[in-house]
């Protein structure tokens, strides 16, 4: 079973203004003259971490990691204005042009899978291939599955759901995303932070197949607030996508090499979405693995590293 590549540091980090409001943080790692790949992080709003550099062979890849609007080290932190899927897709293209990269492999997991598909479909001539993990297609039924009382996730993680649900008065529980948004957008900071901690307390510790149901986040409250607000902002608008848009747009990328890696027991982004994508895109390879949602769970990491190695072999030949 393959494991992640050893930890590496960026050889370049920079800030790139993409409009009059937003400036993105961008990292480059690996080999400057290597095979270009863009890493698209999840959330929305989660940002990038050193682990994200390790899915790619640094001796063969030029790894570009983009911190999306409002996330991590991009500024303004937590900003929701001019923050939609269309803006993020345009930002990816702005970064590509700025770096002088003609085409690149597009890699994304969870929300990053949504963005990878949206970008590749908008700019198929700029993609050399697509690798997605933990597929989320931005559909209302996917949001209901995990965040609403009529979804299925609450039946799998009842302990955590009870805490998520308890934050909202019973009269408002038929529309949990809307109820949380009302609190996340409150004028009172304490109200916003409490809602953010409850929101991410439900999500963050449901990511892996094996986890402590009583685990409590130690993240900075303001970091938690920014991520929760960005997530709820996107979820309440169904990712700013028309229903089924990413499935209908598959013809635009059907010619590209595609790999779909999906945890069989992913509760956050259930396997049905990956299956629907694979049915619409039979030319892509679907690999169902015995894991949950986390990208670094052993079976998922193994499949992703094998996928990036295989793509590099296809482009440049096997490594020595």
Catalytic residue status for 293: yes
Choose, from 71, 74, 110, 273, the residue flagged as catalytic.
Answer: 110
Task: Tell whether omega for the bond before 44 is within 30 degrees of 0, i.e. cis.
Answer: yes
Choose, from 57, 204, 266, 309, the residue flagged as catalytic.
Answer: 266
Choose, from 41, 52, 233, 293, the residue flagged as catalytic.
Answer: 293
Q: Which residues, at least 6 apart from 223, have a Cβ–Cβ distance to it below 8 Å?
A: none
Task: Report the DSSP pairing between strands 23-30 and 35-40.
Answer: unpaired
Task: Tell whether omega for the bond before 218 is within 30 degrees of 0, i.e. cis.
Answer: no
Catalytic residue status for 223: no
Q: Which residues, at least 6 apart from 85, have a Cβ–Cβ distance to it below 8 Å?
A: 114, 115, 118, 138, 234, 239, 240, 241
Burial class (CB in 10 A: 0-12, 13-18, 19+), 33: exposed
Catalytic residue status for 71: no
* Cα 207 to Cα 215: distance, rounded to the nearest angstrom: 12
* Cα 260 to Cα 31: distance, rounded to the nearest angstrom: 25
Indicate which residues carry an active-site annotation. Answer: 110, 266, 293
């Amino acid at each position: 079973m393959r494991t992640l590549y050893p930890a590496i540091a960026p050889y370049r980090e920079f800030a790139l203004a993409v409009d009059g409001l937003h400036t993105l943080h961008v990292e480059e790692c690996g080999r400057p003259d290597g095979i270009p790949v863009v890493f698209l992080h999840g959330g929305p709003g989660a940002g990038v971490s050193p682990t994200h550099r390790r899915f790619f062979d640094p001796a063969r890849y030029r790894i570009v990691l983009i911190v999306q609007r409002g996330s991590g080290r991009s500024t303004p932190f937590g900003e929701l204005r001019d923050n939609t899927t269309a803006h993020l897709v345009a930002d990816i293209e702005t970064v590509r042009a700025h770096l002088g990269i003609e085409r690149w492999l597009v890699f994304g997991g969870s929300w990053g899978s949504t963005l990878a598909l949206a970008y590749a479909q908008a700019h198929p001539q700029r993609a050399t291939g697509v690798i997605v993990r933990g597929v989320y297609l931005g559909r209302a039924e996917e949001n209901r599955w995990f965040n609403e009382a009529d979804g299925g996730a609450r039946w799998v993680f009842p302990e955590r759901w009870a805490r998520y649900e308890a934050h909202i008065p019973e009269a408002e529980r038929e529309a949990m995303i809307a109820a949380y948004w009302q609190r996340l957008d409150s004028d009172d900071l304490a109200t916003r932070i409490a809602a953010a901690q409850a929101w991410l307390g439900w999500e963050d510790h449901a990511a892996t197949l094996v986890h402590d149901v009583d685990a409590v986040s130690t993240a900075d409250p303001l970091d938690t607030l920014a991520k929760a607000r960005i997530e709820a902002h996107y979820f309440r608008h169904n990712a700013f996508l028309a229903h089924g848009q990413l499935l209908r747009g598959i013809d635009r990328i059907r010619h590209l090499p595609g790999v779909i890696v999906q945890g069989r027991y992913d509760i956050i982004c259930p396997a049905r979405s990956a299956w629907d994508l694979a049915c619409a895109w039979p030319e892509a390879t679907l690999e169902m693995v015995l894991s949950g949602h986390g990208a670094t769970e052993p079976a998922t990491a193994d499949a992703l590293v094998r996928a990036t190695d295989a793509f590099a072999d296809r482009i440049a030949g096997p490594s020595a």
